[in-house]
Amino acid sequence: MQKKIAEGGYGIVYQATWLNSNYRTKNVILKRFKNSQYSNKCFLKELKSNYYCNKLFLIETYGFTKDPKLDDYIIVMQYASEGDLHKYLQKEFTEIDWKKKIKILEYISSGLFVIHNENFIHRDLHSGNILVNNENCQYYEYAVGDLGLSRPVNDTLSNNEIYGVIPYIAPEIFKGSTFSKESDIYSLGMIMWELTTGCKPFANVEHDHRLIYNIIDGVRPEITEDTPNFYSNLMKRCWDSDPKKRPSVKEIYNIFFNWYGQLELIDQAELKRKELINSKKLGPKFSEKPHPKAIYTSRPKCSSIFSKCSSINSSNDYTSIEVILDIDIESSKSKLLGTKRKIEELLNDNSYENNGKLKTLKLVPGFPH
């Protein structure tokens, strides 16, 4: 039995029931990769990432299979009963006190630590990829998921693609730098802000080149009144425009231990949080209506592009620009014609590099192969 949950450029996600050899059922997620040359490459890359990062604090991967009729590859993964973090915040925001916010952040940071410790980079960290599970347990679990864009640190893409959700992408990426552990930390800073508000960053503006210019120029979401200083200080370090000034995930995790000595400040923050909620000044229910062109999905190889702009320090360096932006941004070559920069689309890159042998996960029993 399958239920379609979501669909992206190269795959479809289903909720399914797995009947194992002992005739016991288990809810699982099936990520089907549509049968195409590029999708098969995506499948192999995601399988590799899941193999090396299939550990605690990350969504578990049980294995893979193949549809004999459609010839599509399928990855079988852990089911998250509460959906993603954003949906969870929308539903439970008033009940998520400051102690719980910090606990959620610990889980997310632990998952990111596992990824970075394996010398991988997530590259697409946002609240839609943090999954919440409360199935068959007495407490909530928060796990980092969707490693489809994860790559080893030394695996630089030949055409410098930029994938992801604009508000969570670090400013240096828009200027031509490659994704890094530091850019993951920037994304974590945006998730920290989302935990304080229950809203996605920059939801009230169109996600176009103007937002990208603002991000490059250092514009960040407004910090809420109830946010304690020790939390906001770390958050601002995470989203610092200079990647060298951002803390490592190991440093972040060590900082958490100091927070347990801040119980009085946490209690004060909680009182202020309740006051703001009661006065209808905080929370997704009372936030500004999202802009219709604020889009929060990631799609590789979409038609939306943005110039690499490797020499850009701010939007003031542009005289004029020709750009088409939808949701994601893909790298392009920049031409300097006088003072005018043009955007060129790179759609014909079919190169694929695999410099090592892929250690495959086991085939899942009970599924067709």
pLDDT tens for each residue of 267-291: 999 999 999 999 999 998 776 676 6
- Contact between 196 and 227 under an 8 Å Cβ cutoff? The reply is yes
Does the annotation count 124 as an active-site position? Answer: yes
Q: Tell me, what's the pLDDT at 146?
A: 66
Structure pTM? 0.74
CB contact set of 16 (below 8 Å; sequence gap of 6+): 1, 2, 3, 27, 28, 29, 30
Which position among 84, 124, 155, 240 bears the catalytic label?
A: 124
Domain 85-286 is in which class? Answer: mainly alpha
Cα–Cα distance, 270 to 228 (Å, whole number): 9
Q: What gap in Å lies between CA 71 and CA 272, rounded to an integer? A: 55
Asked if residues 200 and 86 have their Cβ atoms less than 8 Å apart, the reply is yes
What are the residue ranges of CATH 1.10.510.10 in the chain?
85-286
Encode pLDDT of 188-242 as tens digits: 999 999 999 999 999 888 888 899 999 999 999 999 999 999 999 999 999 999 9
Strand pairing category for 141-144 and 130-133: antiparallel
CATH superfamily of 2-78: Phosphorylase Kinase; domain 1 (3.30.200.20)
Domain span(s) for CATH 3.30.200.20 in the chain: 2-78
Element (H, E) at 333: strand 333-337
Interhelix angle for 263-278 vs 98-117, to 10°?
A: 120
